[in-house]
Amino acid sequence: MLPLFDQRRAYRAWPGAAPNRWDWVLLPLVLALLVVAAYGAMQMSRPFVVGEALPVSLDPVYLPYYLLRTMLRMFTALAFSLLFSFMFAAIAAKYRKAEKAMIPMLDILQSVPILGFQAIAIAPFIALFPGNLLGVECAAIFAIFTSQAWNMAFSLYQSIRTVPPELNEAARVFRLSGWQRFWRLELPFAMPGLLWNMMMSMSGGWFFLVAAEAISVAGQDIKLPGIGSYIAVAIEARDLGAIAWAIGAMLTGILLYDQLFFRPLLAWADKFRFEESQGDTAQRSWLLDWGRRSRWLHALTDRFWALMRRALGWFPARHDGLSPQSSPRSASPLWSRAWDLLLVLAGVGAVAQLVLFVHSDVGWREALHVVGLGMVTLARVMLLIGMASLVWVPVAVWIGLRPRLSQRVQAVAQFLAAFPVNLMFPLVVFLLVAWRLNPNIWLSPLMVFGTQWYILFNVVAGASAIPNELRLAADNLGLKGWLKWKRVYLPAVFPSYVTGAITASGGSWNASIVAEYVTWGKTTLVADGLGSYIKQMTDAGDFHRIALGIGVMCLFVMLLNRFFWRKLYLLAEDRSR
């Protein structure tokens, strides 16, 4: 307890912020999180030389430490993913010329396998931090970032493009600048969907964690202490008990960050819902309730937002709405044509380089063979996305319209989305070998196992954002059954569904590398397809054919997005207006 004089001084410094019982309840939790994070950060920056062994023990007693290291990597990657999403979505949604280049670039980035990013990033990061483990840690964080960022960027971009017209008109009346408009209108409107996609991104990080933490460089295998490396060692040792412990550690981590991070954020973001009456849709969080009762935390947040308002000028005094609004300057037609010509020339140059590479390094017969394998994987992707949509869209709408149920299934859905497909290899190999099943058919569901949740999470976010007034109006008009779904629910969630389907499609192409080539012990099952081709060429060290496989995959994803998903995107944007 502070002396009386110090308590009075603290009270004068923070009026109304004398500590209460909720402050003393939250203080140990906050201090514990800070101490644990600081300890993990110190371990991530210790001295290290390439070739030095980093032992990973299968003893379960080390799992809490491995979980800490993994969580620090994932939250660091999530922070960079959020920053990338802010910049990408704001630029792509506001500048049509930039959008013409950025959206195809995002299509390419989400289709490049995580192994491709890792191969590019390892050497520069190690060179950036010589003699320190931080270089390898940054490479692992970058790999996790590539599994998190793309769907968040797509979600925020889609939300900005579908802001209701009346809100856009209000922003024009108040003459908000682009900076003010983003922070006061677009980001708050996108917040519910963005948070659900952040949860999906965390789950996506778990899905590719083995590839991110078990790194190969210069002929050396580096396994960073973490759950992903623990799973990799357990698979190599065929230790089912260790795999069970890893699943338990994953579930513990997901429950922790669900209760301490995402659940409070979802409850806080409920105030950004686009409706006039709250209804019965409010999310609840015990941690947020405690924070709102804490005087210290309340005073800190008030001072933080006041400082941000003064320092950055986010929220200046409102415009009176009477003075004329200055019209934005339109771009010069000559500049627009020049930019389009530049994009065309860049595309022609890329095609020319591809033709030269195929002609001189791999041959046209091999290229046609790889294109045929791409058609096989394309058929799998589209069929599986269609089946997943038929199952999860109705389920997601049903969950999103029931916030209490949504809170109950939230952690379960995150766990299922995070479950690495590698952990299913023992069961898959046993069933396919014992029952003599065709790998070309029965390995296919592994492609969509981790990516179908993009559809679920996005549609849940879209359904939970349906204004309560719209639901009440549908009830008053007597809409029921299929008519209600056709006129209310499906149009309302269609933009969110398209975002989820695009990211699920891109993720399925990426997951084909794992799903079409399954190994457990000495047993290997191979399905014909582009993913298994890339995996086999990677094992063989044939870099030209690896580049060919990744290039064809990027080409398929770009064409699919351009001529199929992009059409649905424009339709969703038009319907939302």
pLDDT digits (tens, 9 = 90+) for 6-25: 444 444 444 455 778 888 88
pLDDT of residue 576: 57
pLDDT tens digits, residue range 195-247? 888 988 888 788 778 778 887 654 567 889 999 899 888 888 888 899 899 98
* Res. 464: pLDDT tops 60: yes
pLDDT of residue 21: 81
Q: What is the mean pLDDT of residues 391-407?
A: 85
Indicate the CATH number of 18-275+338-576 among 1.10.3720.10, 3.40.50.1100, 1.10.3470.10, 1.10.150.110. Answer: 1.10.3720.10
Mean of per-residue pLDDT scores for the chain:
81
The span from the CA of 418 to the CA of 253, in Å, is 11
**pLDDT-wise least confident of 87-91, 342-346, 489-493:** 342-346
* Res. 344: pLDDT tops 80: no
The β-bridge partners of 132 are: 47
pLDDT of residue 203: 81
DSSP 273: -
| Exposure letters 106-132 (e unless 16+ CB within 10 A, then b) | bbbbbbbbbbbbbbebbeebbeebeeb
Six-digit token string for 249: 């550690």
pLDDT of residue 275: 57
- Which carries the bigger pLDDT value, residue 543 or residue 254? 254
Tell whether the torsion through CA atoms of 313, 317, 321 and 322 is positive or negative.
Answer: negative
The span from the CA of 267 to the CA of 192, in Å, is 10
Share of the chain above pLDDT 90, in %: 18
pLDDT of residue 277: 47
Q: What is the mean pLDDT of residues 430-452?
A: 86
pLDDT of residue 68: 95
Q: What is the mean pLDDT of residues 85-105?
A: 87
pLDDT tens digits, residue range 137-179? 998 999 899 888 988 998 899 888 888 888 888 888 888 878 8
The span from the CA of 136 to the CA of 44, in Å, is 9
pLDDT of residue 545: 87
CB neighbour list of residue 426: distance below 8 Å, 6 or more residues apart: 238, 240, 243, 520
The span from the CA of 94 to the CA of 103, in Å, is 13
* Res. 90: pLDDT tops 80: yes
Q: What is the mean pLDDT of residues 115-129?
A: 77
**pLDDT-wise least confident of 49-53, 95-99, 399-403, 565-569:** 49-53
pLDDT of residue 377: 93
Question: For the chain, what are the domain ranges?
Answer: 18-275+338-576
Q: What is the mean pLDDT of residues 390-413?
A: 83
pLDDT of residue 79: 95
CB burial class (10 A; 0-12, 13-18, 19+) of residue 550?
buried
Q: What is the mean pLDDT of residues 457-479?
A: 84
User: What's the pTM?
Assistant: 0.80
In sequence order, what DSSP letters do the residues of 86-103 get, joined into one string? HHHHHHHHH-HHHHHHHH
State the Rg of the chain over Cα: 25
Cβ–Cβ < 8 Å for 468, 277: yes
pLDDT of residue 315: 46
In sequence order, what DSSP letters do the residues of 335-381 get, joined into one string? HHHHHHHHHHHHHHHHHHHHHHHIIIII-HHHHHHHHHHHHHHHHHH
- Which carries the bigger pLDDT value, residue 262 or residue 323? 262
